[in-house]
Amino acid sequence: MCSWWREGLTPNTRSLRASFCPHPLSGRGGTQGELVPVFSSRVAEFWLLSHAIRLAFSDHGSAPSTQTSATIRARSRAAPSADPAERHAWTLLRNRGVLGLKFRRQHVLHGFIVDFYCASEHVVIELEGDAHDGDAQQIYDRARAEFLAAAGFRIIRVRNKDVSREHFQTRLRQVL
């Protein structure tokens, strides 16, 4: 049996209810008698889907955990090197600058780093620049947005050229 499942190395372990079933390859050249966990919880489905998305699009072949020291270091390196549109958006959103909502910058949600996040309304604002125009990046962005939407977050995508207080207010009023 896989020891990492028994050790509970999954998010929200208390909410997960695992039942075990025979390994699909047992008796056909696979591991004889091994049991694998089967989760009925939506949390487990989200967790597995998020790792599958990150594995499919990562260059190094392993999915990052939700918030490790490497993730925190990456966030701290990303903030000073943010493009001008992201810096301008942060000056508009910080200190409850738009509709009195408090936003966090470069926040980790289910292992993904989002540009801006409002915890009280579960709203994510993602800025899209030229880097998001490629086919592979659009597929990744769409899969990530679908995953976060299924987890209960409302996603707002804004092109860098459209960053303004009025545009943010209009888009936020539409989703709230």
In order of their start, the domains of the chain are 3-57 (no CATH), 69-175 (3.40.960.10)
- The predicted-structure confidence for 18-74, as pLDDT tens digits, reads as follows 444 444 444 444 444 444 444 445 555 565 566 666 666 655 444 444 556 666 666
Q: What is the mean pLDDT of residues 162-167?
A: 95
Rounded Cα distance between 116 and 154, Å, is 12
> How far apart, in whole angstroms, are the C-alpha atoms of residue 78 and residue 69?
14
Alpha-carbon distances of 111 from 50, 51, 118, 156, 164, rounded to whole Å = 8, 8, 17, 18, 28
pLDDT of 54: 64
Average pLDDT of the chain, as a whole number: 74
In sequence order, the 6+-apart residues with CB closer than 8 A to the CB of 153 are 109, 122, 123, 124
What's residue 1's pLDDT? 39
Stronger pLDDT, 70 or 113, i.e. the higher one: 113
Single out the residue of 147, 168, 160, 159 nearest to residue 63, CA to CA. Answer: 147
